[in-house]
Amino acid sequence: MRKRTTTRQLQQTITDNLLVIEKTEIYYKTSRKTEIIDTDKFKDSLNFLCESGVFADFVDWHYERNISTKDEYILDSGAMNPYSENVVTVYLRVGENVIGEKIEKILEVTEEE
pLDDT digits (tens, 9 = 90+) for 60-108: 899 998 878 878 999 999 998 889 999 999 999 999 888 777 888 889 8
Q: Where are the domains of the chain?
A: 3-107
Separation between Cα atoms, residue 8 and residue 85, nearest integer Å = 22
**Using CA of residue 30, residue 34, residue 35, residue 39, what is the dihedral sign?**
positive
List all residues 6 or more positions away from 93 whose beta carbon is below 8 Å from its beta carbon.
19, 20, 22, 71, 72, 73
- pTM recorded for the entire structure: 0.89
pLDDT digits (tens, 9 = 90+) for 31-58: 999 999 999 999 999 999 999 888 888 8
